[in-house]
Amino acid sequence: MSVRKLKPITPGQRFRVVNGFDAITTDKPEKSLLAPKKRTGGRNSQGKMTMRYKGGGHKKKYRIIDFKRNKVGVPAEVKTIEYDPNRSAFIALLNYQDGEKRYIIAQNGLQVGQNVVSGNEGIAPEIGNAMPLSQIPLGTIISCVELRPGQGAVMARSAGAFAQLMARDGKFATIKLPSGETRLILTTCMATIGVVSNSDHQLLVSGKAGRTRWLGRRPRTRPVVMNPIDHPMGGGEGRASGGHPRSRNGVPAKGFRTRSKTKSSNKYIVERRKK
């Protein structure tokens, strides 16, 4: 993983920091694992804008990712490490011994030619291997963690993210999540060994507003410059500060807890995330 700082031959490149893409081995995706991706531009089925600041952007195709890792006991060779426009992490193309191909989220240190496997027993806790939490040694750094058995990975999937297996007690494992939250998860849930790839993603600087437009994000209007009818923080004479920070619907933005006190999964949270 590395980043490059460009020479400022244009104003947009003066502060730009780009990914070195050292880990990427090909720029052509596997055609059989591509799917069309339709853009909504933030509009609903009536054509009305329901999400602001969305629209435009470069055309993309979706890469079908295997989040379940349910091909048990069949070794697979890593053929390529690829860029995925739909996520911050890199993806790896696996070629299974029976001829099937699948994409997975690539972990840091995953190399082309390396063999990975998923399964319950007799699997070594090595980078890229997927196994239930019941089989992973305590203290191991993991990623792509399931929340419910068979659901597929939903946690610690973005670039540089990882969780840690802290303890096991009965049918539950204690996991420290990237947010800082400590939570109980069933030991039958699957997880992948290692840290998610492209950990330098947070260091990138786009350099110009147009690059954000290419990602499909339109310019965002600050609430304090709106009128009172448009936002609770709008209005006032001159450069008025806008009052207490809150959302367009009036929900306070800083320190206000929105999680329900009666939510059924509260009993599984050992320690809340850091404020």
Sequence spans of domains, the chain: 3-202
Q: How far apart are CA 55 and CA 208, in angstroms?
A: 17
Q: How far apart are CA 191 and CA 129, in angstroms?
A: 8
Q: Are strands 153-155 and 163-169 parallel, antiparallel or unpaired?
A: unpaired
Determine how many CB atoms are found less than 10 A away from the CB of residue 124. 8
Q: How far apart are CA 174 and CA 199, in angstroms?
A: 24
Q: Which two structure tokens, joined as six digits, stand for 67?
A: 């989040």
CATH superfamily, region 3-202: Nucleic acid-binding proteins (2.40.50.140)
Determine how many CB atoms are found less than 10 A away from the CB of residue 23. 21
Query: Per-residue confidence of the chain (275 residues) as pLDDT tens digits?
Result: 689 999 999 999 999 999 999 999 999 999 999 999 999 999 999 999 999 999 999 999 999 999 999 999 999 999 999 999 999 999 999 999 999 999 999 999 999 999 999 998 889 999 999 999 999 999 999 999 999 999 999 999 999 999 999 999 999 999 999 999 999 999 999 999 999 999 999 999 999 999 999 999 999 999 999 999 999 999 999 888 888 999 999 999 998 999 999 999 999 999 998 76
What is the pTM assigned to this prediction? 0.92
